[in-house]
Amino acid sequence: MGGDNGVGAVMAGIARSLKTSSQIHFLVHGKKNDLQKEMCNYPEIASSCSIISCEEVVKMDEKPSAALRSGKRSSMWSSLHSLATHNADIALSCGNTGALMAMAMVQLRKAPGVNRPAIAVLWPSRNDRGFNIVLDAGADIKAGGDDLLQYALMGVAYAKDGFSINSPRVGLLNVGTELYKGRTELHEASVLIEKAAKDLESFTFLGYVEGGDLPSSGVDVIVTDGFTGNIALKTGEGTASLIKYFLKETFTQSFMSKIGSILALSSLKKLNQKIDPRNVNGGIFLGLNGIVIKSHGGADAIGVAAAINLACQLAESGLSTKLTSQFQN
């Protein structure tokens, strides 16, 4: 029910994703009438969807604490409940991020040994894989040195188990690569992650990386606090969308450039896919007993389908079990 584009975008996304992987079954939580009405536009998805009726909806601008108090009958709560009771493998929402995290922490509880859960996102990258992993993208606005260490370890587990990246290279986001740069918690985290890399021998620590390294092929996992990560994420998306706007302007500027764009059409479409944030849509909540994926609130059919595809890939990888055993001693 959540997201800026409501039920329509979700149903269109489901229809889109079922075209490529028909094995998925959806438990769709929300206002029955609204869902049924929208489903009429996609009769082919009916057999793959069960509607779980919930008449309440968490608002996009609702304070997480308020949603937690009064939202026990909401579609968001219900979707997490189906995950907590093992009726679903993954929960996916386009709704209010803070409320989703708060409800997920109550229903799924933090995995043993985890202090702060984090949101990990896939960042478009120059490498062949097409993305790097960045966390925390906004679960918590602050993080101490210990928390940043845990993010590093969770990011490594996600990279290995979710995407088969062996010995991931981890960087810590800072305003410069020199050791003296940045805030105290970064200096602490740097020492802790360096030590963990030596002790565990399961990943490489690169030290500090900068904003310009987020799309680099020289790093796999980038660790930061949720405030900085969220600003960086939205800045990257904003820049990409600005350039798309300029690009469109460019190709309608003159007759010659219009012809040019027609000739280059298929290549331009590929470019568009690469720089389209909708195609790497889906932040995963790490550090809980269960996998929750938060789609961008502004996601349309393409974005929702991308998040669903990510969910399937992760469900099939058995990531959930591997992740939750990560911090157990």
Residues near its own copies (CB under 8 A) are: 61, 63, 124-126, 138, 141-142, 173, 175, 178, 180, 182-183, 210-216, 224, 226-228, 230-243, 245-247, 249-251, 253-254, 256-257, 259-268, 270-271, 274-275
* CB of 109 vs its own copies, minimal distance in Å: 25
Nearer to its own copies, 32 or 142 (CB): 142
Query: What whole-number distance in Å separates Cα of residue 113 and Cα of residue 105?
Result: 14
Amino acid at 104: A
Nearer to its own copies, 113 or 297 (CB): 297
In the chain, alpha helices (H)? 6-20, 32-39, 64-70, 75-84, 97-108, 145-157, 163, 184-200, 226-250, 255-263, 265-275, 301-317, 319-324
* CB of 194 vs its own copies, minimal distance in Å: 19
CA–centroid distance for 60 within its chain: 17
* CB of 178 vs its own copies, minimal distance in Å: 5
Cβ contact 193:152 at 8 Å: yes
Nearer to its own copies, 226 or 282 (CB): 226
What is the bridge-based pairing of β-strands 131-135 and 221-223?
parallel
Nearer to its own copies, 22 or 257 (CB): 257
What is the bridge-based pairing of β-strands 291-294 and 90-93?
parallel
* CB of 142 vs its own copies, minimal distance in Å: 7
Nearer to its own copies, 79 or 224 (CB): 224
* CB of 104 vs its own copies, minimal distance in Å: 18
* CB of 322 vs its own copies, minimal distance in Å: 30
Residue 196 CA: distances (Å) to CA of 8, 171, 173, 174, 242: 46, 13, 17, 19, 40
Nearer to its own copies, 175 or 191 (CB): 175
Q: Which two tokens stand for residue 59?
A: 């608002």
